[in-house]
């Protein structure tokens, strides 16, 4: 992985892809962020879901499906990201993506200030695979939770924590991700059971 491992730098990279004003394809985003490893591909979709554009009907499920494809490859131990062409060709308007990035910047600055490389042995390859399996399970909860306003934010918050923990090799944040996973499942069961 090259470059500084901060979420702000990831957002800067992604925002640069919006510079031409043309719609940004998934393939272009992968090309822009691919040198940073798998972490950004968990963090960015999760934060997008938590931003205002996450209110678009169906988008949380689409983002969860994207994350699930990433998580499966992480569990399998792949070193490079692969996506089917029909996914790579999907686009989002540059101005909409840029607006979402600006919304995410305060969160990115907060993450960058508080989370960094700590307890790296707890963010090693085996922990990453377990976290990826947890992300896959969390993604499966998103479609039913999308029926309840803002409910899918809980699993996406856990996924974002895992992604950032992987990016900066923060074992403490990895543990927080697992705690958020447990909380997300408990909250989801409560919401769906009470609905």
User: In this structure, are residues 138 and 130 in contact, taking their beta carbons and an 8 Å threshold?
Assistant: no
pLDDT above 80 (res 3) = no
User: In this structure, are residues 40 and 104 in contact, taking their beta carbons and an 8 Å threshold?
Assistant: no
Residue 84: inside a domain, yes or no?
yes
Range of the domain at 177: 7-193
pLDDT of res. 74: 93
pLDDT of res. 10: 84
Residue 70: inside a domain, yes or no?
yes
**CA angle, 139 as apex, 167 and 58 as ends, to 5°?**
115
The total number of structural domains in the chain stands at 1
* pTM more than 0.85: no
Residue 192's pLDDT band, with cuts at 50, 70 and 90, is low
Residue 112's alpha-carbon distances to 7, 28, 38, 164, 187, in angstroms, are 6, 25, 18, 9, 27
Residue 193's pLDDT band, with cuts at 50, 70 and 90, is low
Cα separation, 136 vs 30, whole angstroms: 20
Residue 123: inside a domain, yes or no?
yes
Residue 142: inside a domain, yes or no?
yes
Helices marked H in 21-93: 26-33, 39-50, 59-75, 85-88
pLDDT in tens, 114-149: 888 888 888 888 999 999 999 999 999 999 888 887
């Amino acid at each position: 992985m090259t470059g500084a491992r901060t979420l702000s730098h990831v957002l800067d990279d992604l925002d640069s892809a919006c510079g031409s004003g043309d719609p940004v394809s998934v393939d272009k985003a992968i090309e822009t962020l691919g040198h940073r490893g798998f972490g950004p591909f968990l963090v960015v979709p999760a934060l997008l879901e938590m931003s205002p554009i996450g209110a678009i009907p169906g988008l949380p499920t689409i983002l969860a499906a994207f994350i699930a494809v990433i998580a499966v490859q992480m569990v399998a131990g792949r070193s490079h990201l692969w996506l089917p062409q029909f996914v790579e060709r999907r686009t989002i308007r540059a101005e909409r993506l840029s607006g979402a990035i600006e919304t995410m910047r305060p969160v990115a600055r907060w993450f960058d200030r508080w989370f960094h490389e700590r307890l790296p042995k707890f963010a090693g390859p085996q922990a990453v695979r377990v976290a990826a399996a947890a992300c896959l399970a969390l993604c499966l909860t998103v479609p039913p939770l999308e029926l309840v306003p803002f409910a899918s934010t809980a699993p996406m918050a856990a996924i974002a924590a895992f992604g950032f923990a992987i990016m900066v090799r923060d074992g403490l944040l990895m543990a927080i991700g697992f705690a958020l996973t447990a909380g997300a499942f408990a909250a989801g069961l409560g919401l769906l059971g009470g609905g």
